[in-house]
Amino acid sequence: MLEMTREEFEELVAEALDRIPPELTRLMDNVAVFVEDEPAADDPELLGLYEGTPLTDRGEWYAGVLPDRVTIYRGPTLRMCESREDVVAETEITVVHEIAHHFGIDDERLHALGYG
């Protein structure tokens, strides 16, 4: 498995977030991004997870709720990648994929766009 400290991986996630165009990040609302070492045991290869209510599903009732949560998992990403460059690319794809869910874009559309 490729070695990378948690701090290095968190920096890659931050850099991937920084590459999201400002016109999109301005639209992100009530969402927090986290890095965890491993996903739940029932899905050990999961690279990222979006938990929350997509912007497209929010209505008048949406107030006073906890932020949506995007989690990027370090362990599975490092296990599947062979080089630091692979980790950079995969992290960016995963961050964009999970943020897209915040905007209401489903997996089928993301796969069609190359963010599988």
Residue range 31-83, pLDDT digits in tens:
999 999 999 999 999 999 999 999 999 998 888 889 999 999 999 999 999 99
Q: Report the pLDDT value the prediction gives residue 113, as an integer from 0 to 100.
A: 85
- Kindly report the pTM of this predicted structure: 0.92
Is the pLDDT assigned to residue 7 strictly greater than 90?
yes
* CB distance 1 to 78 below 8 Å: yes
Is the pLDDT assigned to residue 104 strictly greater than 80?
yes
Average pLDDT over residues 104-114: 89
Angle at 98 between CA 26 and CA 9, to 5 degrees: 95
| Pairwise CA distance, residues 61 & 110, whole Å | 28
Beta strand 68-73 pairing with 31-36: parallel
Q: Report the pLDDT value the prediction gives residue 115, as an integer from 0 to 100.
A: 79
| Pairwise CA distance, residues 14 & 8, whole Å | 10
Q: What is the pLDDT of residues 10-26, one digit of tens each?
A: 999 999 999 998 888 89
Is the pLDDT assigned to residue 116 strictly greater than 80?
no
Put the strands of the sheet holding 68-73 in their side by side order. 31-36, 68-73, 48-51
